[in-house]
Structure 1
Amino acid sequence: MSVIVIAHDDAGHVPDAVRSALAQGERVAEVIAVDDASGDGTGEVLDRIARKEPRVRVVHHTLNSGGCGTPRNTGLRLATAPWVMFLDSDDLLPPGAVDRLLAAATRHSADVVAGACVRREIPDGREVRWQPQLYETEALHEDTSAHPELLRDTVSVNKLYAREFLDRHHIRFPDGRFPYEDFVFTARVYAAAARLAVVPDPVYVWQVRRQARRLSISLARDTIGNWRSRVAAQRFAVHTLAHGGHGGLADAARVRFLEHDLRMYLRELPLRSAEYREAWWTDTRALLSGDPRMEQAVKSASAPARWAALTVLAAPHPPQDDGLRRLAALAGRPGRLLPPYALGRAGVPVWSEELPAELAGLEALTPCELPVTVDAEVTPGPRTRVDLTLHDLYGRLRAAGPESVDLELVDRATDRVGLSVRAAWTDAGEPVAGPGKDERHRHARWTARVDGLALAGLTASHPVAAWDVRARVRFRDGSVNETTVRALRPGLRRVAVPHARRLVVLLQPYATHDGSLAFRVAPGVRGALRIAGARAGRVLRDRLPARPDTAPSAPATPAPPVRPAGDPT
């Protein structure tokens, strides 16, 4: 098989990528490394590797293409093996990946074989599987057009492709500067009704460097041009599916966009400038309106995505402050519907009194599915205390009967539960409405106290561990609603806790960007210095001038000239 490695100005990482492909063994007949006109010595690094390794062939673009599609197409044009796979210069193939993919391809006579993609956060090492529900067991999908759930995985690099299949259906990436080119390529594969096998094994390590000086396209979401590029790629993908005779897949792609992309950008909206928010809101309203198929997708989406989209459509301008934070919380995973809760005409639940967008479908949700809100006030110390408040949702929780809550601390790097404590809910009744307040704003509440948490004793896989806080709300009938908890600001203060073995442990409760409670636990003086250094780095980055907020140029541009690598000297 052929592994196509693409690189631009990545001399520090590309050797590891190429070595990870070569380490797959002799079943990798060739590694085609395409240098997209780098200026940092990447091309020379690749040439040195090629002089020592006969399986490596290097191609140098003399002009930078501006995207990932053109260098991948160059590699496809030059590939000679019957199977191809793509690898970015800052990622890795885990040991045995090619063997597992090729074995499944033979076993199932597949056109495409997909495996699990692991997102690895650098430098803390946290690993999270991408779309894990699609890769739980080995399976064969004889016609991808009959499996719309596959559209949730838009990544092209965790898949092995039969080159004959790609050539027969003329499947290539968009050329030139076309961010999110994977959306289009994957749509073309699915529209061709590929015979696709999936394996549960990890076959690709996607290394995410959020603190890198130059962020990848998928991480650089702080410009309006990034959102416009994503929308343009989404529209191109939907067009590909619809005009290929797969209207059902096109509709599924619209729903996927609402469930994943819309919610992701909404979660981050409070972090953006007023100018960005206004432009994003205007663009998104235009995307959601005027297309009957998109309007139907809004109705078909899950409650959080549906309500968020309806709220955007109902408001000509983005909300401010609390309204924006409520939207970010609703777009979270899991989504939380924050109080206050308002009723519109005829007692119908609505987003707010000022913005009466109906919360369509609320009555059909089970207690497990409701976007409940659990607030947390923290008193940190040697025996940390957390006071919880559970808010009712239009009487739905009172009818279900909340009985207890399991508060869990989960290591973000490993998803391991390090601490779990159960407490009983106490009915706190309804808050008394103040003068002039409408009775509709009153709602039931329950409180619980979790006391004596010895957080300084937690052991983790990283010197400065981040622990997310989850709440499992248990109801009278045995059902469980799992959610995160909202951090209330007053208790978010850093404390140093004495420890017999570690001398001191720095404990820092904080709110994540969507308002969820988390803890940093740093043992010893070294850990405390790491937290201080990270804070100093964030302050420095905040003071750096922002990047220009411009949209990308037109997506399609001619392929750049290509010259072969020079002969070894």
Structure 2
Amino acid sequence: MNNMSAPDVSVIVGAYEAMPYLIRCLESVEAQTLGAHRIELIAVDDGSTDGTGEYLEEFAARSAVPTRVVRQANSGGPSGPRNVGMGMARGRYVFFLDADDYFADDALANMVAMGDRAGTDVVLGKVEGVNRGAPKSMWRRTADRVDVYDSQIIFTLSAQKLFRRDLIERLGLRFDEELRTGEDALFTMEAYIRGSGVSVFADRTCYYLVGRDDGKHVTKSGDYTHRFDSARAMLALIHDLVPAGPKRDRLLVRPFTVGLIQQFGPRIMKESAEIRRHKLELAAPLMAAYWSPEVARRIKVAERLRLECVALGRLDLLDDILKYIRAGKEPEVVLRGRGRTPHLAYPHFGDRRAAIPDSAYEVTIRDWVGKPGGRSIEPPRLIRQRRSLTRRLARGVRTWVRGTR
């Protein structure tokens, strides 16, 4: 293979106990309309005992897609196999394909074309869940280039994206093999921040994210301490790479609302006193170092209140709020101040003894009363902005009409 021209894409598959899902995964690589001659497959069997390694070797022997197989002892997670694959990759782009998942037939063709046209370092192809959920908010439209600080792409940080290999080599990007979970989020966030732009292909599904029915999916493994390790690493990465200010605050929303807050959901009320105390101890330095009023204002009230309770070290207050939310109660909307600013009166609103500031109850972004999707409520600032935009559009239409007469 060293005498062959460099392919467009190196598809890296790390596989552990991947049968029978691996069969469809590899079939989807062969079916790519980009063409076998423009792809190389690097497959790393991470110590499987279910025939995964044997199937990879059989595939390499018969497939038109140039394939290299590495068989190694189990490394304990997906980072090791991915790093091995990156060290062998020769393509202009790299794609990390999980052995459980599969491509749409034109996935790589569409993503390579977009990366080449836009000159971006990361291309996101639309993801669809199969027997599991998948991120949705970032697929509203196709965009040659999006701003990481003003888009929803920070809520899809899995590794299943097209990365320009020059970026990987220039930054020395590798997956952190010490992390048991969240290693892909760290890798992808750094690529977003330090790379030369991100593209989104949302016209059609590119990638099918498969929920395994055997309970072996990697994201379901690991204890809660690993989740805190992941949150700690992400918070530190953002703090180190992005100067203080609104951009950093925007990115910090992600590890607080996807990662840390999940450790303080309804399940915590059923956990032992020892685990509850330990979680609070793990969270305390993170809240002290990275939580701020500026970050809090970018988060919906119900989530913000949970995090405020954690910052205060008050599991008793957290229990009250969790019980209220779980009961499906709708907080009263209380208007305060000259600007008639809405506040959602969750438990302990206005209770000075609880030490939760009134500002924690203030609606600062679009929110909902009751369940998400219920009655929408917005801060006066957004209402004024929308009205101003409506007036400007109306004036523009009137001006255009007069000009056509």
Q: For residue 308 of structure 1, what is the amino acid of its counterpart?
A: R
Q: Give the alignment of 1:523-534 within 5 angstroms.
A: none
Q: For residue 229 of structure 1, what is the amino acid of its counterpart?
A: H
**Closer, same or farther in 2 for the Cα pair 1:244/1:348, shift >3 Å?**
closer
Secondary structure of 1:155 counterpart:
coil
Instruction: Please tell me whether residue 190 in structure 1 is matched to residue 196 in structure 2.
Output: no
Q: For residue 85 of structure 2, what is the amino acid of its counterpart?
A: G
Match of 2:158 among 151, 155, 159: 155
Whether the 8 Å contact between 2:344 and 2:363 is mirrored in structure 1 is no
**Closer, same or farther in 2 for the Cα pair 1:474/1:115, shift >3 Å?**
closer
Offset of residue 8 of structure 1: 0.8
Stretch of structure 1 that moved more, 54-63 or 90-99: 54-63
Match of 2:240 among 218, 224, 243: 243
Offset of residue 227 of structure 1: 3.2
What does residue 406 of structure 1 align with?
none
Offset of residue 359 of structure 1: 4.6
Whether the 8 Å contact between 1:251 and 1:293 is mirrored in structure 2 is no
Distance in 1 (alpha carbons) for counterparts of 2:344 and 2:189: 39
Distance in 2 (alpha carbons) for counterparts of 1:161 and 1:308: 36
Offset of residue 87 of structure 1: 0.6
Q: For residue 303 of structure 1, what is the amino acid of its counterpart?
A: V
What does residue 286 of structure 2 align with?
287
Match of 1:39 among 36, 49, 54: 49
Instruction: Please tell me whether residue 94 in structure 1 is matched to residue 90 in structure 2.
Output: no
Q: For residue 226 of structure 1, what is the amino acid of its counterpart?
A: D
**Closer, same or farther in 2 for the Cα pair 1:323/1:304, shift >3 Å?**
closer
Gapped regions of structure 1 (runs ≥ 5): 123-127, 330-335, 374-469, 476-569
Match of 1:48 among 54, 58, 73: 58
Match of 2:209 among 200, 206, 210: 206
Stretch of structure 1 that moved more, 238-247 or 320-329: 320-329
Question: What's the TM-score once normalised by structure 1's chain length?
Answer: 0.55
Instruction: Please tell me whether residue 110 in structure 1 is matched to residue 120 in structure 2.
Output: yes
1:283-339 per-position Cα deviation (integer Å, ceiling 9, x unaligned): 234432x2255564234422222111112334543569765433557xxxxxx6557
**Closer, same or farther in 2 for the Cα pair 1:192/1:370, shift >3 Å?**
closer
Distance in 1 (alpha carbons) for counterparts of 2:354 and 2:78: 42
User: What is the aligned-residue identity percentage?
Assistant: 22
Offset of residue 33 of structure 1: 0.9
Question: What's the TM-score once normalised by structure 2's chain length?
Answer: 0.75
Offset of residue 80 of structure 1: 1.8
**Closer, same or farther in 2 for the Cα pair 1:365/1:250, shift >3 Å?**
closer
Whether the 8 Å contact between 2:44 and 2:85 is mirrored in structure 1 is yes
**Closer, same or farther in 2 for the Cα pair 1:244/1:95, shift >3 Å?**
same
Distance in 2 (alpha carbons) for counterparts of 1:474 and 1:112: 34
Whether the 8 Å contact between 1:6 and 1:71 is mirrored in structure 2 is yes
Offset of residue 5 of structure 1: 0.9
Secondary structure of 1:141 counterpart:
strand
Q: Which has the larger share of strand?
A: 1
**Closer, same or farther in 2 for the Cα pair 1:270/1:227, shift >3 Å?**
closer
What does residue 218 of structure 1 align with?
219
Distance in 2 (alpha carbons) for counterparts of 1:246 and 1:363: 27
**Closer, same or farther in 2 for the Cα pair 1:93/1:321, shift >3 Å?**
same
What does residue 550 of structure 1 align with?
none
Secondary structure of 1:66 counterpart:
coil
What does residue 90 of structure 2 align with?
80
Offset of residue 189 of structure 1: 0.4
Distance in 2 (alpha carbons) for counterparts of 1:323 and 1:309: 11
1:544-565 per-position Cα deviation (integer Å, ceiling 9, x unaligned): xxxxxxxxxxxxxxxxxxxxxx
Larger Rg: 1
Q: For residue 37 of structure 1, what is the amino acid of its counterpart?
A: G
Distance in 2 (alpha carbons) for counterparts of 1:136 and 1:349: 33
Match of 2:347 among 345, 351, 358: 351
Match of 2:228 among 211, 227, 231: 231
Distance in 2 (alpha carbons) for counterparts of 1:239 and 1:254: 10
What does residue 271 of structure 2 align with?
273
Secondary structure of 1:218 counterpart:
helix
Offset of residue 153 of structure 1: 1.9
Distance in 2 (alpha carbons) for counterparts of 1:188 and 1:471: 32
**Closer, same or farther in 2 for the Cα pair 1:61/1:276, shift >3 Å?**
farther
Distance in 1 (alpha carbons) for counterparts of 2:280 and 2:267: 10
Distance in 1 (alpha carbons) for counterparts of 2:312 and 2:330: 18
1:61-81 per-position Cα deviation (integer Å, ceiling 9, x unaligned): 432211111111111111222
**Closer, same or farther in 2 for the Cα pair 1:21/1:247, shift >3 Å?**
farther
Distance in 1 (alpha carbons) for counterparts of 2:83 and 2:127: 22
What does residue 490 of structure 1 align with?
none
Q: For residue 356 of structure 2, what is the amino acid of its counterpart?
A: A
Whether the 8 Å contact between 1:258 and 1:298 is mirrored in structure 2 is no
Q: Give the alignment of 1:117-136 within 5 angstroms.
A: 117-121=127-131, 128-130=133-135, 132-136=136-140
**Closer, same or farther in 2 for the Cα pair 1:67/1:318, shift >3 Å?**
farther
Whether the 8 Å contact between 2:101 and 2:209 is mirrored in structure 1 is yes
Distance in 2 (alpha carbons) for counterparts of 1:56 and 1:162: 20
Whether the 8 Å contact between 1:155 and 1:183 is mirrored in structure 2 is yes
Secondary structure of 1:360 counterpart:
helix
Distance in 1 (alpha carbons) for counterparts of 2:347 and 2:232: 29
Distance in 2 (alpha carbons) for counterparts of 1:316 and 1:12: 47
Whether the 8 Å contact between 1:267 and 1:327 is mirrored in structure 2 is no
Instruction: Please tell me whether residue 175 in structure 1 is matched to residue 174 in structure 2.
Output: no
1:71-101 per-position Cα deviation (integer Å, ceiling 9, x unaligned): 1111111122212111111111122111111
Q: Give the alignment of 1:412-561 within 5 angstroms.
A: none
**Closer, same or farther in 2 for the Cα pair 1:250/1:109, shift >3 Å?**
same
Match of 1:19 among 15, 27, 30: 27
Distance in 2 (alpha carbons) for counterparts of 1:309 and 1:293: 9
Distance in 1 (alpha carbons) for counterparts of 2:316 and 2:47: 41
Q: For residue 27 of structure 2, what is the amino acid of its counterpart?
A: R
**Closer, same or farther in 2 for the Cα pair 1:271/1:15, shift >3 Å?**
farther
Instruction: Please tell me whether residue 139 in structure 1 is matched to residue 143 in structure 2.
Output: yes
Offset of residue 363 of structure 1: 5.1
**Closer, same or farther in 2 for the Cα pair 1:168/1:474, shift >3 Å?**
closer
1:17-70 per-position Cα deviation (integer Å, ceiling 9, x unaligned): 111111114155211111112122211111111121142524334322111111
Aligned residues: 353
Instruction: Please tell me whether residue 3 in structure 1 is matched to residue 11 in structure 2.
Output: yes
Gapped regions of structure 2 (runs ≥ 5): 1-8, 335-342, 378-405
**Closer, same or farther in 2 for the Cα pair 1:113/1:359, shift >3 Å?**
same
Q: For residue 283 of structure 2, what is the amino acid of its counterpart?
A: T
Distance in 1 (alpha carbons) for counterparts of 2:170 and 2:81: 20
Whether the 8 Å contact between 1:5 and 1:18 is mirrored in structure 2 is no
